[in-house]
Amino acid sequence: MSSSTTSAPTLPDAPEDYPWTGPAVRSALLLGSGIVDLDPEGADDAPTEASTGDRDRALVDVATIDQALAAEGAAPLAERTLVVAVGSNQTPETIARKYARSGRDLQIATPFVRCTVHGLAVGHCAHTSARGYIPAAPYRADGERMELVATWFDDAQLAVVDETEPNYERVRLDASRFPLTLATGEAPAHYDVYASSWGVVAHERPIPLRHRQQEMFDELVAITGAPVLIGHAAEVCARLAVAPDALNTLVREHGLVAEDGLR
């Protein structure tokens, strides 16, 4: 475990910059004192599924995580629920803000570990968030391979995160259909994801996640010509925040919604 620690920000990021994940996924441990890197030296250069030599170099140590959790008086990994995130929940900063906004007296120690998942891809929920951006949503995509982040939540933490996802249903995926390999070297039998309750935005097939809201808004304008989506992304997010059903109505009228294939 790296000794570098950073503080978790308390102010939300701009909605037009969603999903706020930065250039690459990372393994980290959220603690009351800040965020500690979990990736070993060289992990950024080696994929989760690698040759034996690279795997030894890239593994995140499970024993180190459990030792850190025990030092915080937090629940061990064996007593937590594994959830694979596809959007901003991949970042400790987002989860820290959700815990803080809940107002609950939580044990916030939470591990985040890189993972590779097969048969799953990431697109956009067919509904906007409360802040007006179009959030990420997973969907079945045979043959796809994604590098994402898996998070272990205790029961109280999971209840808080569930409440922050009103447009989603947490569903359990069987690894026989959607194989998962963690950067710890483990391959769990199942894991949870937050699946869109509204379907995913699709144009013949699901539209893959765009890493800038401006790209997604411009793409939908090109398809639909909808005035509500025209302009700078910050302005569009502000419009959609006060018209929460506008995006869902628009994509349904234009036949731009597909089932995610996860249930």
Domain with residue 157: its CATH number is: 3.10.490.10
Range of the domain at 111: 5-127+136-202
* pLDDT of 2 above 80: no
| Domain tally, the chain | 1
Which pTM was predicted? 0.90
Could you read off the pLDDT of 78-137 as tens digits, one per residue? 999 999 999 999 999 999 999 999 999 999 999 999 999 999 999 999 999 999 999 999
Instruction: Tell me whether residue 123 is in a domain.
Output: yes
Q: How confident is the model at residue 262 (pLDDT cuts 50, 70, 90)?
A: very high
Instruction: Tell me whether residue 239 is in a domain.
Output: no
Instruction: Tell me whether residue 260 is in a domain.
Output: no
C-alpha span between 53 and 183 (Å, rounded): 14
pLDDT at 159: 98
Instruction: Tell me whether residue 263 is in a domain.
Output: no
Q: How confident is the model at residue 56 (pLDDT cuts 50, 70, 90)?
A: very low
Q: How confident is the model at residue 21 (pLDDT cuts 50, 70, 90)?
A: confident
Question: How far does the chain reach from its first CA to its final CA, in angstroms?
Answer: 36
C-alpha span between 132 and 212 (Å, rounded): 13
Instruction: Tell me whether residue 109 is in a domain.
Output: yes
Label residue 236 exposed, middle or buried (CB < 10 Å: 0-12, 13-18, 19+).
Answer: buried
H/E element holding 116?
Answer: strand 110-124
β-strands 34-37, 190-196: how paired? unpaired
